[in-house]
Amino acid sequence: MKLVEGKKALIFGLANNRSIAWGIAQALHEHGAELGFSYGIPQLERRVKPLAEQLGVGFVEMCDVTKDADIDAVFAKAADHFGQIDILVHSVAFAKQEDLSGRFVDTSRDGFAMAMDISAYSLVAMAQRARPLMANGGSIMSLTYYGSEKVMPHYNVMGVAKAALEASTRYLAADLGPEGIRVNAISAGPIKTLAAAGIAGFRKMLAYAESKNPLRRNVDQDEVGRTALWLASDLSSGVTGEVIYVDAGYHILGMPDAVGEE
Near ligand NAD by CB under 6 A: residue from 27, 87, 92, 232 = 92
User: Which of these ranges, 124-132, 173-181, 187-195, 231-239, lies near ligand NAD under the rule CB under 6 A?
Assistant: 187-195
Amino acid making up residue 58: G
Residue number, nearest CB to ligand NAD:
40
What are the angstrom distances between the C-alpha of 247 and each of 69, 135, 157, 200, 228? 35, 33, 21, 20, 14
176 belongs to the binding site for ligand NAD (CB under 6 A): no
CA pair distance 127, 161, nearest whole angstrom: 17
Least CB distance to ligand NAD at residue 233 (A): 20
Cβ burial of 238 (10 Å; 0-12, 13-18, 19+) is exposed
93 belongs to the binding site for ligand NAD (CB under 6 A): yes
193 belongs to the binding site for ligand NAD (CB under 6 A): yes
What's the alpha-carbon Rg for the chain, to the nearest Å?
18
Catalytic machinery residues: 145, 155
115 belongs to the binding site for ligand NAD (CB under 6 A): no
What are the angstrom distances between the C-alpha of 203 and each of 186, 199, 257? 21, 9, 18
Amino acid making up residue 41: I
26 belongs to the binding site for ligand NAD (CB under 6 A): no
Chain contacts with ligand NAD (rule: CB under 6 A): 13-15, 19-21, 39-41, 44, 63-66, 91-94, 118, 143-145, 188, 190-191, 193-196
